[in-house]
């Protein structure tokens, strides 16, 4: 009992972060599930079918594409659903597993930000403020309660941990965490790279170069098919029409002042059906700090490296915000690959990370008033933003609701253009009767005709590039485990 009390005392601020985060997900604790703009129930179900058929790593979603099947997990991050699968096997409910993942994204990001901010600002109070500002950003509510962008929401957990591994110069954790980000959401990795590179240079952590290589090797089972087999699907459909980035830039009013809240979609101009602001607290606090730093060129209670860290974070946060505005079009057009990000406001995620982390310095500047100031900032942040963290429509349903009737057809039609194989068969209007499957490299046992193969006797296998990726990943993971164990044993001997 005494050990438990001691443990609680030592981690009282972490416990406080957990308690204060509850309003962001409390509504999820009731029976059923809320309306979402994405289809994670379906993806979790398809991932489970992979596991049940011993298709590991998961590649093929048999019910996607109106039942003709699509290589969904050959290109879509698998880690969120691997975690969800563990919870599903325990709970027996896919609905609950999806909610669990979103709750984890909120709680996990707050805790991970706490440890990074405490390391950077050397203060539990600073860490508490950064954590709450990070969790309660309006964009976090958008990702969880409106868009339901699960992989992106989970990436928020990894951002602070990756930077923390740089701060601690831990190569093994840097490698593992970077691998997890690749397997969670590759677009988040791309968006996070600028701050990661800047921070590595700032901290002069050159060993991280080996971590980058190791992370790519560990995730090779996913990375290699994405690089070499994307030509077999129409990726261009993800950047055309509605998904053209030019239609989704935001205005200064939306970025800094907008308090509108809705559950619609992003559109051209300022008629968006959802909030696309960075958050009042999220940008005001760093600017207050900047003004104080300018007025007081030398602040005795702070350290030089703290000010430098703050200025770097603020500059990066502003740069990411700039990328969401149409004045940054020249950058988007000169780097064509950015088109796959689709929505410029997606950069809010990394901008919020930079600004929330930088906000912790304010407590350090007013160390004598840290308790009072922390209470005011934490409560103010929650009061201003907690109302965003709730559902639009709540469905009192179980798993069966999503696997029957019109809803099942809607689930199977979701994102049908994104992963449709380019082998001749046009996207159908009616569901498959089960006699034919979309052809994609790896299917054996039947000859393809017009992009289809007969389902009877067909078997999905790995192509040489997938097999190579699997082998590289397996060897890399075993190698990492060996190195860690060897170092541990060597230290014990010493």
The whole-angstrom separation of Cα 120 and Cα 189 is 22
Mean pLDDT (whole number) for 304-318 = 88
pLDDT attached to residue 269: 76
Q: Would you say residue 209 has pLDDT above 90?
A: yes
**What average pLDDT score do residues 162-180 get?**
96
DSSP 280-308: HHHHHHHHHHHHHHHHSSS-TTS-HHHHH
- Which pTM was predicted? 0.94
Contact 436, 454 (CB under 8 A): yes
pLDDT tens-place string over residues 255-302? 999 989 999 888 887 788 899 999 999 999 999 999 988 887 655 444
pLDDT level of residue 239 (50, 70, 90 thresholds) = confident
- Extract the tokens encoding 296: 């007081």
| Per-position b or e across 462-481, b if 16+ CB within 10 A of its CB | bbeebebbbebbeebbeebe
pLDDT at 302: 46
Q: What is the pLDDT of residue 494?
A: 47
Mean pLDDT of 143-157: 96
pLDDT above 80: residue 348: yes
What are the residue ranges spanned by the domains of the chain? 23-395
- Residue 493 burial (10 A CB sphere; 0-12, 13-18, 19+): exposed
Backbone angles phi, psi at 407, to 5 degrees: -65, -35
Q: Does the pLDDT at position 230 exceed 80?
A: yes
């Amino acid at each position: 009992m005494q050990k438990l009390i001691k443990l609680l005392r030592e981690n009282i601020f972490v416990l406080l972060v957990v308690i204060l985060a509850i309003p962001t997900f409390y509504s999820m604790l009731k029976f059923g599930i809320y309306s979402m703009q994405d289809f994670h129930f379906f993806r979790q179900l398809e991932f489970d079918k992979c596991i049940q058929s011993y298709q590991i790593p998961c590649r093929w979603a048999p019910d996607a594409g109106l039942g003709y099947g699509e290589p969904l997990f050959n290109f879509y991050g698998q880690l969120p659903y691997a975690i969800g699968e563990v919870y599903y096997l325990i709970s027996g409910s896919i609905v609950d597993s999806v909610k669990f993942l979103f709750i984890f994204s909120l709680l996990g990001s707050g805790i991970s930000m706490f440890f990074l901010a405490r390391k950077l600002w050397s203060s539990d109070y600073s860490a508490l403020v950064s954590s709450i500002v990070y969790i309660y950003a309006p964009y976090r509510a958008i990702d969880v309660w409106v868009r339901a962008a699960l992989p992106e929401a989970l990436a928020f957990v990894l951002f602070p941990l990756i930077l923390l591994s740089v701060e601690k110069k831990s190569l093994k954790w840097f490698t593992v965490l970077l691998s997890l980000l690749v397997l969670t959401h590759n677009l988040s990795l791309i968006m996070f790279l600028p701050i990661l590179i800047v921070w590595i240079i700032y901290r002069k952590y050159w060993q991280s170069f080996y971590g980058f290589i190791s992370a790519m090797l560990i995730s090779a089972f996913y990375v290699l098919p994405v690089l070499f087999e994307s030509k077999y699907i129409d990726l261009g459909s993800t950047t055309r029409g509605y998904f053209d980035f030019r239609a989704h830039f935001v205005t200064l009013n939306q970025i800094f002042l907008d308090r509108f809240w809705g559950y619609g979609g992003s559109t051209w101009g300022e008629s968006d059906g959802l909030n696309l602001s960075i958050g009042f607290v999220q940008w005001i606090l760093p600017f207050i700090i900047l003004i104080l730093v300018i007025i007081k060129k030398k602040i005795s209670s702070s350290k030089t490296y703290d000010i430098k860290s703050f200025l770097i974070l603020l500059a990066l946060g502003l740069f990411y915000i700039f990328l969401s505005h149409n004045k940054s079009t020249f950058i988007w057009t000169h780097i064509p690959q950015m088109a796959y990000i689709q929505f410029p406001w997606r950069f809010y995620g990394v901008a919020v990370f930079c600004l929330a982390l930088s906000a912790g310095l304010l407590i350090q500047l007013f160390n004598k008033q840290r308790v009072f100031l922390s209470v005011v900032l934490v409560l103010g942040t929650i009061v201003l933003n907690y109302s965003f963290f709730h559902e639009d429509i709540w469905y009192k349903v179980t798993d069966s609701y999503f696997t029957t009737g019109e809803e099942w057809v809607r689930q199977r039609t979701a994102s049908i253009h994104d992963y449709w194989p380019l082998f001749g068969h046009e996207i159908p209007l009616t569901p498959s009767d089960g006699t034919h499957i979309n052809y994609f490299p790896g299917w054996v046992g039947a000859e393809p005709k017009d992009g289809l193969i007969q389902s009877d006797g067909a078997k999905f296998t790995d192509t040489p590039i997938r097999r190579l990726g699997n082998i590289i990943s397996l060897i890399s993971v075993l190698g990492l485990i060996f190195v860690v164990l060897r170092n541990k044993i060597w230290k014990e001997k010493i």
